[in-house]
């Protein structure tokens, strides 16, 4: 009898939790003992599996977790994850009761509407984290309104446990706007202290800032992309190598079909690529429905037998085609991200090819690609 695993196509993402554990320990070692490490596991752990990642990082130096939405926190609680969880965006008023029910959830707060909703749902002195917009201009209270909202939080019977902000251009450390945000946040903290609002937890640093500016570590840092071994930008490539931070994901498949096209024959939709000679090609059962961007074909490669094989024709929904040597056979392993022999295809390499960032490459891996640990 065929099992479900036997029926599944030979395409999967292989996640090395031991590497994530080592990456977490490396970041932990960069911090003073008094500074806590918050592991960002939103977007299903950047495509690596939030539950599995959360359980591993909490045994490797992280003491907090951060997610984007209430449902992400609920999924972690359902699987027995008990660590405090920060929700990075203010939950909607109708979600506040669920926030309370889940327990040990810290909502970001940046509006009076949010304060009113949470104070109504929660017990007195329930902790919240005030999010300050120092220049990202996505969400958060403006710096000149931070003291007023902090006072409103206290008057509403809630505890201002934390204050935080987020960098807009930390992936470019030389950008002067980083220093502006640091100074602006420091001023907000000073203003809050003068008015008697002294949060227990102050957090500002993301992966890039954790590496670049120790003065932004405060009492906690929030590390996301770095835990998964992908640098925020090419600027950090050498630093990652020096520290020993490594990618934790391999995206693998197999050759499912082989054929030969003659000179002048087109391949794929629109015949965007045509053979200029007799060419051996392989079909690989993974496509843009799985997170392989359609434009990956233009300069993109896969690894087969340790060799870089160029993608030919546009990536389709369920498959792609690569030019291969005559020695390739059906069933040969294909690597789309990761190492094979002495050859590598990194997330950053693919992101650069596509004109995007590693975050998007990782979080685009589709749900129908099984994760193996």
Question: How far is 288 from 316, CA to CA, in rounded Å?
Answer: 6
Catalytic residue among 78, 82, 120, 269: 269
Query: Which segments of the chain are extended strands (E)?
Result: 12-15, 36-40, 64-67, 85-87, 105-109, 127-131, 159-164, 201-203, 220-223, 249-254, 257-261, 266-267, 273-274, 279-284, 301-304, 307-310, 320-323, 333-340, 343-345, 371-372
Is the distance from CB of 38 to CB of 223 less than 8 angstroms? yes
What CATH topology corresponds to 249-372? Lyase, Ornithine Decarboxylase; Chain A, domain 1 (2.40.37)
Residue 211 has pLDDT above 60, yes or no: yes
CATH architecture of 17-235: Alpha-Beta Barrel (3.20)
Backbone angles phi, psi at 156, to 5 degrees: -85, 5
- Provide the pLDDT for residue 4: 54
Active site residue 46: no
Question: In residues, how long is the chain?
Answer: 373
Residue 166 has pLDDT above 60, yes or no: yes
Active site residue 359: no
Q: Which pair of structure tokens corresponds to residue 21?
A: 């554990």
Residue 227 has pLDDT above 90, yes or no: yes
- Provide the pLDDT for residue 108: 99
Report pLDDT digits (tens) over 302-349: 999 999 999 999 999 999 999 999 999 999 999 999 999 999 999 999
Domains 17-235 and 249-372 share a fold: no
Q: Which residues contact 266 (CB under 8 A, 6 or more apart)?
A: 272, 273, 274, 275, 313
Domain boundaries, given as residue ranges, for the chain = 17-235, 249-372
Is the distance from CB of 372 to CB of 15 less than 8 angstroms? yes
Q: Is 123 helix (H, G, I), strand (E, B) or coil?
A: coil
pTM: 0.95
Catalytic residue among 22, 42, 46, 274: 42
Eight-state DSSP code of residue 90: P
User: How much is the average pLDDT of 347-371?
Assistant: 96
């Amino acid at each position: 009898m065929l099992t479900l695993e036997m029926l599944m196509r030979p395409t999967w993402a292989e996640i090395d939790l031991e590497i994530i554990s080592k990456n977490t320990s490396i970041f932990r070692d960069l911090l003073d003992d008094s500074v806590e490490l918050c592991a960002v596991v939103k977007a299903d752990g950047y495509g690596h599996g939030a539950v599995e990642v959360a359980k591993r990082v909490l045994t490797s130096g992280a003491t907090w977790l951060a997610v984007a939405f209430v449902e992400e926190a609920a999924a972690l609680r359902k699987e027995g994850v008990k660590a405090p969880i920060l929700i990075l965006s203010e939950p909607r008023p109708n979600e506040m009761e669920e926030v309370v029910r889940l327990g040990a959830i810290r909502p970001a707060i940046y509006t009076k509407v949010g304060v009113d909703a949470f104070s109504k749902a929660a017990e007195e002195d329930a902790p919240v984290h005030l999010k300050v917009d120092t220049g990202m201009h996505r969400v958060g209270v403006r710096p000149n309104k931070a003291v007023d909202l902090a006072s409103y939080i206290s008057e509403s019977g809630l505890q201002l446990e934390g204050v935080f902000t987020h960098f807009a251009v930390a992936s470019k450390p030389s950008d002067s706007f980083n220093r502006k945000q640091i100074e602006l946040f420091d001023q907000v903290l000073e203003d809050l202290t003068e008015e008697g609002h002294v949060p227990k937890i102050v957090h500002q640093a993301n992966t890039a800032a954790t590496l670049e500016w120790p003065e932004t570590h405060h009492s906690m840092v929030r590390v996301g992309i770095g835990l998964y071994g992908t640098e925020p930008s090419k600027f950090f490539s050498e630093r990652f190598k020096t520290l020993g931070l490594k990618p934790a994901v391999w995206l693998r498949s197999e050759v499912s079909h082989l054929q030969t096209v003659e000179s002048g024959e087109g391949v794929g939709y629109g015949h965007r690529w045509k053979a200029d000679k007799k060419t051996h090609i392989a079909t690989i059962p993974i496509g843009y429905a799985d997170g392989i961007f359609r434009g990956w074909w233009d300069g993109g490669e896969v690894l087969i037998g340790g060799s870089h094989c160029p993608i030919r024709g546009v990536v389709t929904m369920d498959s792609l085609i690569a030019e291969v040597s005559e020695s390739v056979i059906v069933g040969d392993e294909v690597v789309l991200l990761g190492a094979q022999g002495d050859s590598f295809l990194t997330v950053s390499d693919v992101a650069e090819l596509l004109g995007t960032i590693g975050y998007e490459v990782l979080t685009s891996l589709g749900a129908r690609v099984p994760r193996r640990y």
